Amino acid sequence: MGEAYEDLIVERDGNVTTITLNRPERLNAISGPMLSGLSRALVAAEADAETRVIILTGAGRGFCSGLDLKRQADVSDSAAEGPAKLFDLRNAPPIVIHNVDKPIICALNGAAAGYGMDLALGCDMRIASDRARLAAVFAKRGVLPESGGTWLLPRLIGWAKAAEIAFRGQTLDAEQCLAYGLVNAVVPHEQLLDTARAWAAEIAANAPLAVQATKRMMRLGLEETFEANVNHVYLQLLPLFRSADFREGLQAFVERREPAFSGR
């Protein structure tokens, strides 16, 4: 994974790849090049055989303050044209995140506003610093949650609470996010990355093919009937039975030791 990315830091440590949004002076507002780079970094991590878990976080005080509409408008002929150029629905990061089978942990280090909130919600898990906030400010800017929020928020917390947050344009602190079920845990700021890495290591120690198949079936199950999903899961189970990791899991159980999964 040697590609250089504009305003992103991509590092792999063992089986965990960490992608850091790196424009701290702009609270990691995302420009057009960053959007493209983030999608490419996620695709590269998905394709990397050594990566089993992805962590997404931000540098500095904020996770992501949203799309950098100011920068885009400055280089466009019209203010209306600028925001439109940022959207590529074929390869946009929220769509890539949704389709990645490897688990993605958001280490929410600060405020996530607008597009940044949608990015965070698209991850499988969110561990929040006690300084983190989710800012659903779309309606206050004359737009809507354009990058997955209208799909994700009602599924995460139910229609009524999602409507309250989105229609009122609320900003939620870390403890409110935890109470609503929008984050999995809140930890002291200085412990955030250590906690995210510990969770990632725990996931990475499990059979990666099984973890990825579980995520895939959970995702598809959101749109399937119960019977369809049960049958779909059975078809996913058959190749797992033939995997080296399945044999290793059984052998480790019999020998009363921790398994060493190879991902094959």
CATH 1.10.1060 matches 208-255? no
Contacts of 76 (CB under 8 A, 6+ apart): 82, 85
Q: What is the pLDDT of residues 47-66, one digit of tens each?
A: 999 999 999 999 999 999 99
φ, ψ of residue 119 to 5 degrees: the values are: -60, -45
Q: Please report the pLDDT score of residue 80 as a whole number.
A: 52
In whole angstroms, give the CA distance from residue 176 to residue 178: 5
| Averaged confidence pLDDT in the chain | 92
CB neighbours of 183 closer than 8 A, spacing ≥ 6?
108, 126, 127, 128, 132, 174, 177
Reduced to 3 states (helix: H, G, I; strand: E, B; else coil), residue 123 is coil
* Among 79-83, 96-100, 156-160, 163-167, the least confident range: 79-83
- The two tokens of residue 55 are 């962590």
- Give the number of other CB atoms < 10 A from CB of residue 139: 14
pLDDT at 2: 63
**By mean pLDDT, which of 126-135, 144-153, 192-201 is the weakest?**
144-153
DSSP string, 210-250: HHHHHHHHHHHHTTS-HHHHHHHHHHHHHHHHTSHHHHHHH
Q: What is the pLDDT of residue 86?
A: 60
Q: From CA 73, how far away is CA 71, in angstroms rounded?
A: 6
- Is there a contact between 218 and 104 (Cβ–Cβ < 8 Å)? no
Model pTM score: 0.92
Is the Cβ–Cβ distance between 136 and 66 less than 8 Å? no
> pLDDT tens for residues 84-98?
566 666 678 999 999
Q: What is the pLDDT of residue 111?
A: 97
Q: What is the mean pLDDT of residues 218-229?
A: 95
pLDDT reported for residue 246? 97
Query: What is the rounded distance in angstroms from the CA atom of residue 30 to the CA atom of residue 137?
Result: 16
Which token pair is 139? 């309606």
Q: Domain segments of the chain: what residues?
A: 8-204, 208-255
pLDDT at 142: 87
Alpha helical stretches, state H, the chain: 32-47, 69-74, 81-85, 93-99, 115-122, 149-157, 159-168, 174-180, 192-204, 208-221, 226-241, 244-255
Fill in the DSSP letter of residue 8. Answer: E
Report whether pLDDT(123) > 90.
Answer: yes
Closest CA to 145 of 126, 124, 170, 173: 170
Closest by CA to 10, choosing from 46, 109, 31, is 46
Predicted confidence band of residue 25 (pLDDT cuts 50, 70, 90): very high
Question: Quick check: 81 pLDDT over 90?
Answer: no
Predicted confidence band of residue 190 (pLDDT cuts 50, 70, 90):
very high
Regarding the domain delimited by 8-204, which CATH topology (the fold level of the hierarchy) does it fall under?
Answer: 2-enoyl-CoA Hydratase; Chain A, domain 1 (3.90.226)
pLDDT digits (tens, 9 = 90+) for 243-263: 999 999 999 999 999 999 999
